Amino acid sequence: MIPPKTKPRLKYVKTFLAVIRQGRFYFCPIYDSIHYFCSANRKDPSSEGKKTIASVIMWFTGWKLAVDPKDERVRHCVLVAAPHTSNWDLLHAIAALWKLGIPVRFLIKDSYLKNPFTRPVIKWLGGIGVSRTQKNNLVDYTACLLEKDPELVIMLAPEGTRSRVEQWKTGFYKIAMKAGVPIGIAFLDYREKKAGLLGFINPGGNYAQDLAIIEEFYKGVTAKKPEKWNPHFSEPAK
């Protein structure tokens, strides 16, 4: 038997649980409104707001911007970010690219965009949802996005995992070739606490040759977890 004094509390708990269960309907309009106002200038992530946030993040974490190449190709490209050995890589990469004024977007499971709590944050950060059906043909899907938007920059982790790999996956290269865009080379150096862009290449169709060129850019770069980073990723797996 529940004491009389606790019954009103139980009523409030039930109401709260009902709100949580229906969170999609209660909170989506609120979050969507906030997202709208926060991202009104989403097509131009070089806005002062994002640059300020990036500066604060880099100051707080002690990271510095290493390279700022003045190259127009940065406005429409496939951007590879490496080494990728930790979940912290995304934070440092986005902070550096925002500070450079690069309108970077990245692919993420669409389940994060279906969640009313994570959707506005992921969208504001630049996430593009990918469903299971799209994952089966990710190269064509991403290339199509780049072809439709002449100002789109897609950031990819070419290793495809935080674990050590013998050779990079070919997806980023196929996307760049199919969309006819250059490949930007972004880096994270945890020893020096520096991040930025190392340069660009225009893929010519010879994957092995171009990958060897990309590997040269990453010489001397230190990952957060060095044991998971293979600096000789252009060499064929034995």
Q: Inform me whether the pLDDT recorded for 19 exceeds 80.
A: no
Task: Yes or no: say if 197 and 214 are a contact pair by the CB < 8 Å rule.
Answer: no
Question: What whole-number distance in Å separates Cα of residue 25 and Cα of residue 48?
Answer: 32
Task: Yes or no: say if 31 and 117 are a contact pair by the CB < 8 Å rule.
Answer: yes
Q: Inform me whether the pLDDT recorded for 37 exceeds 60.
A: no
Q: What percent of the chain has pLDDT over 90?
A: 42
Q: Inform me whether the pLDDT recorded for 39 exceeds 70.
A: no
Q: Which tens digit of pLDDT belongs to each residue from 43-59?
A: 444 467 888 889 999 99
pLDDT tier at 38 (50, 70, 90 boundaries)? very low
pLDDT tier at 179 (50, 70, 90 boundaries)? very high
Q: Which tens digit of pLDDT belongs to each residue from 124-143?
A: 888 888 876 666 688 999 99
pLDDT given for residue 15 in this prediction: 54
Mean pLDDT for 224-236 is 85
Question: What whole-number distance in Å separates Cα of residue 171 and Cα of residue 227?
Answer: 24
Q: What percent of the chain has pLDDT over 70?
A: 75
Q: Which of 38-42, 113-117, 151-155 has the highest mean pLDDT?
A: 151-155
Element (H, E) at 227: none
Q: Which tens digit of pLDDT belongs to each residue from 199-208?
A: 999 999 999 9
pLDDT given for residue 136 in this prediction: 65
pLDDT given for residue 72 in this prediction: 80
Residue type at position 158:
P
Residue 112 has a CB neighbour count (10 Å cut-off) of: 15
pLDDT given for residue 27 in this prediction: 41
pTM of the model: 0.75
**Domain chopping of the chain, boundaries:** 1-38, 44-228
Q: Which two tokens stand for residue 192?
A: 């020096």
Computed over every residue of the chain, the mean pLDDT equals 80
Mean pLDDT for 174-185 is 95
Question: What whole-number distance in Å separates Cα of residue 55 and Cα of residue 61?
Answer: 10
Task: Yes or no: say if 89 and 155 are a contact pair by the CB < 8 Å rule.
Answer: no
Question: What whole-number distance in Å separates Cα of residue 13 and Cα of residue 2?
Answer: 14
* Cα dihedral sign, 171-93-69-73: positive
- Label residue 222 exposed, middle or buried (CB < 10 Å: 0-12, 13-18, 19+): middle
Which residues sit opposite 135 in a β-bridge? none
pLDDT tier at 233 (50, 70, 90 boundaries)? confident
Q: Which tens digit of pLDDT belongs to each residue from 97-124?
A: 998 888 789 988 888 888 888 888 888 8
Task: Yes or no: say if 64 and 188 are a contact pair by the CB < 8 Å rule.
Answer: no
pLDDT given for residue 145 in this prediction: 93
